């Protein structure tokens, strides 16, 4: 079994952090350092088909949860805390339900255990239209992407994945070919029988539509001990839009 790539910060009780769709572990470096400064051994993990982890044709949440199980065993971790955002939150939920004895505390950032219709197609289309083989710099890539994506923040998020595959040849770290074919999988819900009774925190942005008040009953049906907190002045990327409050809420949950 191939092992996931990670960056490990600090020492103490293990805290595993899982990025979202088209993201990577580096997105969490600043917050990861803050958790590490507060007594955690932070594992910033690249999920398969993302970051520096391996590429594979197989991709669904049970497989991603199994990847995490393999990582925990390979690194001899005992009952880590797990934090996941968006797609990473779905992986974290699935892992907690599949391996409940291997989770101490679970934090799910701005995603519910329900089905989400594919809604990232415009981003995938913009990336697909990019003629990456003819691009020689990050600036040139941004200019090309801007023809399809007007949001500067989203473009910068995606361009963090740009790297030199070899001298003179740029590429993205994520496996776009597989991910664009698995858009339905990205939005999948948990099975009705999936549940985790351990300590669980759901965090949402007050400007995000990913977790509504109507989703609370669904959350409680899978995670009966769950509490829901809201980060102010934040949308779906709540950890980047209001990192101070996000950190305060999550750290308080982790150390309580």
CA 35/CA 44 separation, integer angstroms = 11
**Domain architecture of the chain: domains with CATH:** 6-116+188-255 (3.40.50.1820), 121-181 (no CATH)
Would residue 25 show up in a list of annotated catalytic residues for this protein? no
* Across 77-98, average pLDDT: 98
Nearest to 97 by CA among 66, 73, 56, 75: 66
Q: Given 50, 86, 110, 199, which residue is catalytic?
A: 86
Give per-residue pLDDT as tens, 207-244: 999 999 999 999 999 999 999 999 999 999 999 999 99
Report residue 119's pLDDT band, with 50, 70 and 90 as the boundaries. Answer: confident
Helix (H) or strand (E) segment spanning residue 29: helix 29-37
Give per-residue pLDDT as tens, 157-198: 999 999 988 888 889 999 999 999 998 889 999 999 999 999
Would residue 177 show up in a list of annotated catalytic residues for this protein? yes
* Across 43-55, average pLDDT: 97
Q: Given 177, 181, 206, 252, which residue is catalytic?
A: 177
What confidence score (pLDDT) does residue 1 get?
A: 74
Q: Given 19, 50, 236, 239, which residue is catalytic?
A: 236
Provide DSSP, 205-238: ETT-SSS-GGGHHHHHHH-TT-EEEEETT--TTH
For residue 23, pLDDT beyond 80: yes
What confidence score (pLDDT) does residue 47 get?
A: 98
Report residue 104's pLDDT band, with 50, 70 and 90 as the boundaries. Answer: very high
What confidence score (pLDDT) does residue 118 get?
A: 84
Report residue 28's pLDDT band, with 50, 70 and 90 as the boundaries. Answer: very high
Q: Is 111 left (phi over 0), alpha (psi -120 to 50) or beta?
A: beta
């Amino acid at each position: 079994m191939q092992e996931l790539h990670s960056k490990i910060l600090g020492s103490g009780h293990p805290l595993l952090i899982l990025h979202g769709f088209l993201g990577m572990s580096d997105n969490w470096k600043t917050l990861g350092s803050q958790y590490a400064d507060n007594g955690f051994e932070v594992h910033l993990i690249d999920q398969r088909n993302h970051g520096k982890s391996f590429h594979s044709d197989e991709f669904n949440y049970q497989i991603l949860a199994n990847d995490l199980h393999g990582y925990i065993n390979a690194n001899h971790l005992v009952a880590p805390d797990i934090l996941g955002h968006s797609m990473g939150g779905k992986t974290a939920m699935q892992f907690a339900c599949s391996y409940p004895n291997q989770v101490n505390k679970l934090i799910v950032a701005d995603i519910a255990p329900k089905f989400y219709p594919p809604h990232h197609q415009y981003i995938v289309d913009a990336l697909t239209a990019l003629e990456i083989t003819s691009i020689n710099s990050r600036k040139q890539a941004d200019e090309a992407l801007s023809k399809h994506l007007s949001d500067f923040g989203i473009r910068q998020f995606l361009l963090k994945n740009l790297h030199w595959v070899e001298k003179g040849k740029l590429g993205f770290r994520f496996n776009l070919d597989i991910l664009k074919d698995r858009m339905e999988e990205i939005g999948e819900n948990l099975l009705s029988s999936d549940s985790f009774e351990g300590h669980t925190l759901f965090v949402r942005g007050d400007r995000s539509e990913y977790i509504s008040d109507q989703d609370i009953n669904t959350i409680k049906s899978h995670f009966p001990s769950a509490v829901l907190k809201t980060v102010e002045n934040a949308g779906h990327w709540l950890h980047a839009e209001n990192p101070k409050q996000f950190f305060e809420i999550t750290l308080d949950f982790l150390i309580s």
